[in-house]
Structure 1
Amino acid sequence: MTKVKLTLLILNAVWLFAVSEVSYGRHAAIIIDADNGNVLHEVEATQSWYPASLTKLMTLYMTFDALKAGQIRLHDTLTASSHASQQPNSKLGLRRGEHLTVEDAILAIITRSANDASVVLAEHLGGTEENFAANMTEKAHALGMYNTHFMNATGLPNNWQVTTSRDMAVLAWKAQRHFPEYYHYFGAHSFNYKGAELRGINKFTANYPGAEGMKTGFTCGSGFNLIGAAHQNGKHLIGVVMGGKTSQERYQLMMQKMDASFANLTNIDPARNINTMLTNSAGSPPYQLDCGNGGATRSIPSSRHVSYTPKHKNTSRIKSNVRGVNAVQPKTTTRIKTSINPINKSKIPPKTINQAKASVKPVSKLPAKSKNFHKPKTDIKAAGKTKSTQKVALR
């Protein structure tokens, strides 16, 4: 066992050295102080982007909201539908009619980014995944995520499923503040399922000092995304990186931005706050990633700066061709077609509602950790081997 641990530490050291040599392409990012919402760093924070599996953070937010309201309990039993069982990787591999608890579904999403577990929760809470996605969008706008629109609970490719790094930082901040009793789940490195220990895939959580976890995401259209939270010397930061060219690049981008932000907490402009940032999104998602056998390569459309500004007033409702979803037609919308094939080919534009102002209080103290998952004793530990990049959607 000692030799195994030593080997893992060596592998992590090699991995950290390797990512230090990464050169970065265009990406979107933001780092905020979780105590007050001050923006410590941002790069194209209002640029429209595909969220990929960062979507699941909203799925979890909706789940925690239902738990807090007493609508469900952690040990309630959920049943996988045929639709849930047919989700692509990554997943638990649930079969139709198979059962799992709400807590197992939460941990499967956080540690393994399980698409099937996400759909099981969505169908249990919303009746259908489509209805749940409409509820996710409504909740996003109520939280102040004005440039976010969801079409599913997983983050699988859809041209109308968009967000910004600023909006995702708002979501992470609200999840941390609103649900302190469930926040510790994000720090899970593994969990026991059917007698087996399933290891997590988030290397930021496993390697960054003071990391509290959060969520990874990847599709060919989004690149490699990451939401991370960490504390050092009594300070808490939340970061979002979107559009990494490789999995390693997103981790190194996050670590470097976190390091710089922790070192610069005494030189902050209080006028730069996430609540007062301009929220109009800029352009359509800018990148098209070709996920061939040679890995992800990036091309940038010549019209990458096309304006995309949803109108929140004087809009008329039209019926979407997606069952259970009512969408709102923006007055002016210009989009760029992507090279990926979306799961839902709806051309109906995003549902929008009246803007709601976000007001966020300081983070509450974190509760004791659950016994249903395991956290390593050291800050540096391997997060386990991950599968090779897939064309549909992964972490």
Structure 2
Amino acid sequence: MKAYYRCCFLFAVWGSVAGFAKKQPLCYVVLDPINRSVVEGFNEENRIFPASLTKLMTVFITFDALERKKIKLDTPFWVSKNASRCLPMKLWVKPGQKLTVKECIQAVCVSSCNDVATVIAENLSGNVSKFVKLMNQYAHKLGMRRTVFKNPSGWHHPDQKTSSKDIALLMRAIWFRFSKYGHFLGTKTFSYQKRTYRNTNRLLGKVEGLCMGKTGYTSHAGYNLSTFTVRNYHPVIVVLVGAPGGEVRNKKVQALIEKFYQKYASRKKRPKLMAYRCKKKVDICLRKLESFKIF
């Protein structure tokens, strides 16, 4: 009987992989965030499933609430029954439990917890539906014309779509508007209740200058990754979606980053930049923001 169930499982997995290969082709974009130009791309306008790259918008809205002083990093967020019932990846929080905003951001950015993404949505907007409406409003303002959000976690929904270029625009907005919170997307580990969680982005600490990133995966979306890298005050955003495996995804993203700095990065001096040191003591940089506006 056990052998029968194993066979059923293997056939189900094979079927899902085969189905995925037909549904979502590989797409990527290399974006220069200073002038917003696409340096290189492949199917970058194709509408795809974002998986947990969706959480970039969830933390964008959280950072905005912090910036507007609606909440603080130590503000308590309460866990509902609805949030606790989310499927993995998750922090396994229980109804009535309390998390600080900082813990919520860490759980979402580092270990991509679906339950905590829902906690953020419910505490900021009252319920998930209102938060999703806000997500789509922000997407529209940021020029993410190929994007429609349906939930705050990235759990598969047939109508939740975006493009690799739209995700790159979102990464750019996070960097320029909320630089002081950027280190959350570059944190390798965080600890909660005596357990240490490791970042799902294995390129952190491996690729020179890579200071922000977010992974994503579902059987429909494939393996996704969005990254922000800075070398010699020259930033680049690389977003890749639809890879058949995590290792393939990581190697392709790393190759695109290296290609940018070897082939495309201008030797001319950039506009005057100011240095900003991450929590992990990685030197990164920002353009001055006096006249810069997202909206």
- Normalising TM by the smaller chain, what interval? 0.7 to 0.9
Q: Tell me the distance in 2 between the aligned counterparts of 1:241 and 1:144.
A: 19
Q: 1:108 to 1:366 in 2, by over 3 A?
A: farther
Pairing 1:219-258 to 2, within 5 Å after superposition? 219-258=218-257
Any idea what SS the aligned residue of 2:139 has? Answer: helix
Query: Which AA in structure 1 matches 2:178?
Result: F
- Structure 1 residue 248: Cα displacement: 0.9
**Distance in 1, Cα, partners of 2:272 & 2:110:** 23
Distance 2:27 2:161 in 1: 13
SS in 1 for 2:72: coil
The residue number in structure 1 matching 2:213 is: 214
Work out the number of aligned pairs and report it: 256
Greater alpha carbon shift after TM alignment, 59-68 vs 206-215: 206-215
Match of 1:130 in 2: 129
Gaps of 5+ in 2: 1-23, 283-295
- 1:119·1:153 contact (CA, 8 Å) conserved in 2? yes
Which residue matches 2:35?
36
Cα contact 1:181–1:366 (8 A) shared by 2: no
Q: Is the 8 A contact 1:204 1:213 kept in 2?
A: no
Instruction: Give the whole-Å Cα distance in 2 for the aligned partners of 1:40 and 1:199.
Output: 32
Distance in 2 between residues matched to 1:158 and 1:148, nearest whole Å: 13
SS of corresponding position for 1:97: coil
State the shift of 1:367 in Å. Answer: 4.2
Higher alpha-carbon Rg: 1
Q: CA–CA distance in 2 between the matches of 1:78 and 1:363? A: 39
CA distance in 2, matches of 1:33, 1:70: 30
Partner of 2:45: 46
Task: Identify which of structures 1 and 2 has the higher relative contact order when contacts are C-alpha pairs closer than 8 Å and 6+ apart.
Answer: 1
Identify if the C-alpha distance between structure 1 residues 238 and 161 changes in structure 2 by more than 3 Å, giving closer, same or farther: same
Q: Secondary structure at the match of 1:203?
A: coil
In structure 2, relative to structure 1, the CA distance for the partners of 1:65 and 1:89 (3 Å cut) is same
Conserved? CA contact 2:182–2:212, under 8 Å: no
Structure richer in helix, relative to its length: 2
| CA distance, structure 2, for counterparts of residue 92 and residue 112 of structure 1 | 8
What is the alpha-carbon distance in structure 2 between the residues aligned to residue 367 and residue 77 of structure 1? Answer: 28
**Cα gap change, 1:376 to 1:245, in 2 (>3 Å):** farther
| Deviation, structure 1 residue 206 | 3.3
**Preserved CA contact (<8 Å) 1:85 1:116:** yes
Q: What residue ranges of structure 1 are gaps of 5+ in the alignment?
A: 1-24, 269-361, 378-395
1:95 paired residue number: 94
The whole-number CA distance in structure 1 between the counterparts of 2:166 and 2:95 is 35
Between the aligned residues of both structures, percent identity stands at 30
The Cα of 1:266 is off from its aligned counterpart by 5.0
Deviation (angstroms), 1:35: 2.2
Q: Answer yes or no: is 1:149 the counterpart of 2:151.
A: no
1:195 alignment partner in structure 2: 194
Measure the CA separation in 2 of the matches of 1:121 and 1:367. Answer: 27
Give 3-state SS (helix, strand or coil) of 2:175's partner. helix
**1:180 and 1:366 in contact (8 A); partners too:** no
Residue 166 of structure 2 aligns with which residue? 167
- Cross-structure match for 2:54: 55
Q: Secondary structure at the match of 1:207?
A: coil
Per the normalisation by structure 1, the TM-score is 0.62
Name the CA distance, whole Å, in 1 between partners of 2:244 and 2:38. 24
Q: Give the superposition deviation at 1:365.
A: 4.3
TM-score between the two structures when normalised by the length of structure 2: 0.82
Query: How much does 1:234 deviate?
Result: 2.3
- RMSD over aligned Cα, in angstroms? 2.0
